[in-house]
Amino acid sequence: MLISLIVPCYNEQEALPIFYEESTKVLAGMDCEYEFLFVNDGSKDGTLELLKEFAKEDTHVTYIGFSRNFGKESAIFAGLANAEGDCCAVMDCDLQHPPEVLVSMYRLWEQGYEVVEGVKRSRGKESAIHRACAGLFYKMMSKAVKIDMSRASDFKLLDRKAVDALLGMPEKNAFFRALSSWIGYRSTSVEFDVQERT
């Protein structure tokens, strides 16, 4: 079985080497094949150069380079469209999503779950205004999609079937964390504590 780890990256030259090392440790300890699919979202720092180096030295690493900054959603969908995994996980590069949680996600996928959602047990350090705005946004979003989004995140593991369903949708401006819950399939969740940004 192959797991693809999709990682959108925007100006991550400092976090990227730490992310790569930490998540390699986790993936190499799992009983499956793995590939990294980094998406450089028009970074202005040395992110792309680092990705080139990783890809040269490690056959597990592939990257996509955007011509400019298109935003995280585009980066996630470009990753999904180019991943070859039997399942695909999406993770932030700044280690706010703890890599070791991938192990629990993968186990649940092995048990037959097709959408494994990372839900925030705690939200980590945030300003009061950020928390209030996020709260309001998710209240409106939850009402619109009729799914509780209050603890939702982009940290998810999806079966190939769910990935293909997402890629088959005609939406050009998609919101991954909502759409990946909305498509249905056999779903479950894993709680995680949002870590401080590396």
> Residue 73: enclosing H or E segment and its boundaries?
helix 72-82
Q: What is the token pair recorded at 146? A: 């009729």
Helix, coil or strand: residue 97? coil
Tell whether residue 17 is a contact of ligand UDP (CB under 6 A): no
Choose from Mg ion, ligand UDP, none: what does 9 bind? Cβ within 5-8 Å by kind. ligand UDP
| Interface positions, 115-174, toward ligand UDP (CB under 6 A) | none
Adjacent-strand bridge partners of 39: 8, 64
Adjacent-strand bridge partners of 5: 36, 89
Among 17, 71, 135, 184, binds ligand UDP (CB under 6 A): 71
Total residues at the site for ligand UDP (CB under 6 A)? Answer: 13
> Residue 5: enclosing H or E segment and its boundaries?
strand 2-9
What order of strands is seen across the sheet that includes strand 115-122? Answer: 61-65, 33-40, 2-9, 87-90, 156-159, 115-122, 187-193
Choose from Mg ion, ligand UDP, none: what does 41 bind? Cβ within 5-8 Å by kind. ligand UDP
Tell whether residue 23 is a contact of ligand UDP (CB under 6 A): no
Q: Which is nearer to ligand UDP, 1 or 81 (CB)?
A: 81
Residues forming contacts to Mg ion in the complex (CB under 5 A) are 94, 96, 197
Instruction: Say which residues have a Cβ less than 8 Å from residue 81's Cβ, sequence separation at least 6.
Output: 167
* Contact window for ligand UDP (CB under 6 A) among 5-13, 55-63, 137-145, 179-187: 5-13
Residues of this chain that bind ligand UDP (CB under 6 A): 8-10, 12, 41, 69, 71-72, 75, 92-94, 96
